[in-house]
Amino acid sequence: MYYIVTGAAGFIGSNIVKALNERGETNIIAVDNLTKADKFKNLTDCEIADYLDKEIFLEKLKAGQFKGITTAVLHEGACSDTMETDGRYMMENNYHYSLSLLDHCQREEVPFLYASSASVYGGGGVFKESREYESPLNVYAYSKFLFDQVVRRRWSNRTAQIAGFRYFNVYGKREQHKGRMASVAFHFFNQFRAEGHVKLFEGCDGYPNGGQRRDFVSVEDVVKVNMFFLDHPGKSGIFNLGTGNAQSFNDVAAATINTLRSEKGESVLTLAQMHEQQLIRYIPFPDALRGKYQSYTQADITALRDAGYAEQFLTVEQGTANYVKYMLAKSS
């Protein structure tokens, strides 16, 4: 019997593969698209049974070659570029791909855990898993939203666990391949080491410079939630996966800078001191993002808590410190 992890060489997928390994699971079929080959590095310290290109995997899936051998599917594979404008590609890669896996899991009566996205909420200020609060701003968000709608329509006829996770702003190890779509913590780390300062957007939507607020959640916590649901196959639903606490981009920048300073034996600075010393600088808000940008997100995690997940989430300060130390160790 095999676990199938899609997007296995990607950010969250590779962290899930590693977590399964730490539980002693190595019968893992890793599925991905290595057109951007550097992602392979995320799997070099992982143990898998086989790697399949996404297209070959789908052919085998449709031919019934995974019948009777699937323990669970953890579906992290998707195009996550919110600036992608090819709607046909996005819908094929995110929506139809997900439908094929959902159909397989329901036929086989095996758990299906999948990545949704907080982007489905668009520019609204309420982040609760309910249709009236959902209004996607781009085709990426729409592809995630539409699949969630299918899950809801099939809800009463499900044969096995279906758990969808609306990831908020995830950051952490194994995201180096993501380029511009990597987390702000990743970019701040590299900017500060290269230039001695970090760049944040000027204020927008009524927020001050660097004051836009997001629910930043560590990939460490994301993996823990996935493992919790894997251990509780009787629990199904669509769940927000964030910390439940919004923090500013300034907070992420300050945590990054202070961790780097502390690791060199330098004193911790306040945000005001960082501004004074020009360690944090602000750049104009991009026109391309106007009307497509979430200036505020904060997960309502009531449903997650009601499902029994009781672990505390890392704060930006805790999670960023862990991540910065990890990146320093990797670069030494």
* Residues carrying an active site annotation: 140, 178
Query: Would residue 168 be called left, alpha or beta, if left means φ above 0 and alpha means ψ between -120 and 50 degrees?
Result: beta
Q: Which H or E run contains 326? A: helix 316-331
Cα–Cα distance, 324 to 121 (Å, whole number)? 30
Pull the structure tokens for residue 262: 């502390």
Q: Record the tokens describing residue 250, joined without a space.
A: 């300034």
- Angle of helix 316-331 relative to helix 249-263, nearest 10 degrees, comes to 50
Q: What is the DSSP letter of 296?
A: B
Q: Any idea how long the chain is?
A: 332
Alpha carbons 70 and 85: distance in angstroms, whole number: 34
Q: Are 140 and 81 in contact (CB under 8 A)?
A: yes
Which residues are CB-neighbours of 165 under 8 A, at least 6 positions away?
113, 114, 115, 116, 222, 225, 226, 239, 240, 241
Output the six-digit token pair for 57: 């995997």
Q: Can you tell me the distance from the alpha carbon of 206 to that of 280, in angstroms, rounded to the nearest whole number?
A: 20
Angle, CA 179 vertex, CA 249 and CA 240 arms, to 5°: 55
Give backbone dihedrals phi and psi of 323, rounded to 5 degrees, phi first: -70, -45
CA 208 to chain centre: 26
Separation CA 149–CA 155 (nearest Å): 10
